[in-house]
Amino acid sequence: MTFEYIEIERVTKLTKKEFIKNYYALQKPVVITNQIEDWAAFAKWDFEFLKKIAGDKIVPLYDNRKTDYTKKVNEPDLKMTMSEYIAILEKGPTNLRIFSYNLLEEVPMMKADMKWPDLDIYMLKKLPLVFFGGQDAKVFMHYDLDFPNLFHVQFEGKKQCVLVDPQETKYMYRLPHSWLCHEDIDFDNPDFERFPALKKVKPYITNLQHGEMLYMPEGWWHYMKYLTAGFSLSLRSLAGRPMNLMKGIANVAFIRYYDNWMRKYKGQAWLDYKEKEAMRRTNALLI
């Protein structure tokens, strides 16, 4: 048994009015297929280009290991140069990923190749983040801690994106003090006996390819699977809903530091407690 998926709607270029009325106001995800055809990056950004322009940059990398209490929230597992990393990606399947890296700050020339979407919402222009992965790499299910409206643009490669509506968060076995699910859940092959509340979840799905932009509304969960090696650029705007904005500020300013502190002082017992609590709280809804 697996999930019953809903295909994410696909549209060609959107006007501001259409975007606000049909997607932003309803907080509904959508793939915009040709929003970036007029960016220089559309034809230019690929692995060859990045090797030339950013090959010597030291990049933070993550693999798929479970959370380790000796590490801080989002602390990388290893580091190497961009050229070395791209050589690994080109060799074959690998779990190694770049997650949330501000490459354009390191290589400001790249900023001239992109445009900020003109969609009538306030974009956080200091935070254009890049994400890379090898074929078969999976990005753990999460939502972004600052509750942004996200515009995720695919460059090299193809990626499967699975999204879950925040209205279903209560069934997602969310770990307390975090924006992650219980880490034993395999979203490709969910164990509905061990995690029965997941039966109530209806994820959205799409495959993203070169030049396509996925709009992810505030607090939407996402699980990504790299079908081929590739990379993307995520542009974010501030949360528009006051409750989300407040939760985002609390996560950025307090919760992640509290979680780091508890990892340091309680060690593995803190991570075990979070998993147990996620099971208890979520399964309690089913009684």
Ligand X SMILES: O=C(O)CCC(=O)C(=O)O
Q: For binding to ligand X (CB under 6 A), which residues are involved? A: 97, 131, 133, 139, 144, 150, 152, 222, 224, 232, 234
With CB under 5 to 8 Å by kind, the binding choice for 178 among ligand X, Fe ion, none is none
The residue among 252 and 269 lying less far from Fe ion, judged by its C-beta, is: 252
Of 87, 93, 96, residue with least CA distance to 135: 93
The residue among 54 and 96 lying less far from ligand X, judged by its C-beta, is: 96
Question: End-to-end CA distance of the chain, in Å?
Answer: 22
With CB under 5 to 8 Å by kind, the binding choice for 139 among ligand X, Fe ion, none is ligand X
With CB under 5 to 8 Å by kind, the binding choice for 133 among Fe ion, ligand X, none is ligand X
Q: Does 218 bind Fe ion (CB under 5 A)?
A: no
**Shortest gap between Cβ of 150 and ligand X (angstroms)?**
5
The residue among 128 and 182 lying less far from ligand X, judged by its C-beta, is: 128
Cα–Cα distance measured from residue 211 to residue 91, given in angstroms and rounded to the nearest whole number: 24
Cα–Cα distance measured from residue 43 to residue 210, given in angstroms and rounded to the nearest whole number: 10
At CA 231, angle to CA 228 and CA 234, rounded to 5? Answer: 135
Task: Give helix then strand counts, H and E, for the chain.
Answer: 8, 14
With CB under 5 to 8 Å by kind, the binding choice for 27 among Fe ion, ligand X, none is none
Read off the tokens for 261: 């502190």
With CB under 5 to 8 Å by kind, the binding choice for 232 among Fe ion, ligand X, none is ligand X
Residue whose entry in the numeric block shows the structure tokens 């992640």? 256
Return all residues near 143 (Cβ < 8 A) that are at least 6 apart: 166, 179, 219, 220, 221, 222
With CB under 5 to 8 Å by kind, the binding choice for 152 among Fe ion, ligand X, none is ligand X
Return all residues near 165 (Cβ < 8 A) that are at least 6 apart: 202, 204, 220, 221
**Shortest gap between Cβ of 11 and ligand X (angstroms)?**
20
Interface of this chain with Fe ion, residues 124 to 153, rule: CB under 5 A: 144
Contact 3, 202 (CB under 8 A): yes
**Shortest gap between Cβ of 220 and Fe ion (angstroms)?**
9
**Shortest gap between Cβ of 215 and ligand X (angstroms)?**
11
The residue among 232 and 282 lying less far from ligand X, judged by its C-beta, is: 232
Residue whose entry in the numeric block shows the structure tokens 């979203």? 187
Residues that bind Fe ion (CB under 5 A): 144
